[in-house]
Amino acid sequence: MRVNGKLQELHKHVKDCELKFITARDKPGQSAYQRSLSLMMLKAFYSVVGAGNVEKVLIDFSLGRGFFVEARGNFVIDEELLGLVKAKMMEYVERRTPIMKRSISTDDAVELFQKHKMYDKARLFHYRRVSRVNVYSIDGFEDYYYGYMVQNTGYLRYFDLLPFHYGFILVFPDLSSPREIRPFEPREKLFATMAESTEWGRRMDLETVGALNDRISQGDTAHLILIQEALQEKK
């Protein structure tokens, strides 16, 4: 919602103000839906597979009306597994599980994500200049997101999970039809380009912003640029 023109989450108390509700037909509402849906998907994925079997789950990039997700660990991404994850997500939808928010110090955030084995997030916060960060959680599963979330999982009814290449697509509605999941249209050329870019980052140990910050702080920027230019020249 907007309170006197400023975005606020639904758990905020308001008084004597101009109030306008945001829906999934509005860009801020769609963004909140996508962030919240991503958190719910991760919660369900870890629950179905088992946290001990997960090495890493990466939401790599947007692809059409969805996010391409890469998951690594002791499991196989197929329709059966995604069916179980989707069923678990629908359980959360029916329960209307609250999406909780808490503010913690940056140092506590580093410790928290190291404890959860989310080392990329812990690496990122080493370079964060503000003293506090917002952490969101669903039924004890915590993660960091930059931006507002919906109030509970009951809002997240419309989605799909589809196996795609070496990962899967988290499909969500678009602005024009927020209560409808349209057939996913593969964009193979775009996927190939994005996947290649992701692989370049992996080869140079630059999968995340935290990794890039490490290299910049070590004074390695010029070397990185030369490698990138060499890859582009070869391409």
Every domain of the chain and the residues it spans: 2-203
CA of 55: how far to CAs of 12, 95, 155, 221, in Å? 36, 28, 29, 29
- Note whether 70 and 202 are within 8 A (CB): no
Tens-place pLDDT, residues 113-130: 888 778 888 888 888 777
What confidence score (pLDDT) does residue 118 get? 80
CA separation for the pair 229, 235 (Å, rounded)? 10
Stretch among 103-117, 119-133, 146-160 having the lowest mean pLDDT: 119-133
- Note whether 210 and 126 are within 8 A (CB): yes
Tokens of 74: 């002791």
Is residue 32's pLDDT more than 90?
yes
- The conformation of residue 17, written as its DSSP 8-state character, comes to S
Q: What is the dihedral of CA 155, 164, 59, 182, to 10 degrees?
A: -30
Tokens of 102: 């808490």
The amino acid present at 67, given as its one-letter code, is: F
Is residue 173's pLDDT more than 90?
yes
What confidence score (pLDDT) does residue 67 get? 97
Instruction: List the beta bridge partners of residue 137.
Output: 100, 142
CA separation for the pair 111, 93 (Å, rounded)? 30
Is residue 87's pLDDT more than 90?
yes
Instruction: Provide mean pLDDT across the span 80-104.
Output: 96
Question: Of all helices (H) and strands (E), which one includes residue 62?
Answer: strand 54-62
Q: What are the start-end ranges of the H helices in the chain?
A: 27-49, 79-95, 106-115, 119-125, 188-203, 209-217, 221-234
Instruction: Provide mean pLDDT across the span 143-171.
Output: 94
What global pTM score does this model have?
A: 0.87
Q: What percent of the chain has pLDDT over 90?
A: 49
In CATH, the number for domain 2-203 is 3.30.980.10
Is residue 7's pLDDT more than 90?
no
Tokens of 131: 């003293």
Q: Quick one: pLDDT band at residue 8, thresholds 50, 70, 90?
A: confident
Is residue 81's pLDDT more than 90?
yes
12 vs 100 pLDDT, higher one: 100
What confidence score (pLDDT) does residue 115 get? 83
Among 45, 49, 76, 52, smallest CA distance to 159 is for 45
What confidence score (pLDDT) does residue 76 get? 95
What confidence score (pLDDT) does residue 214 get? 86
Residue 143 DSSP SS3? strand
Tens-place pLDDT, residues 127-139: 877 788 889 999 9
Tokens of 224: 């990185």
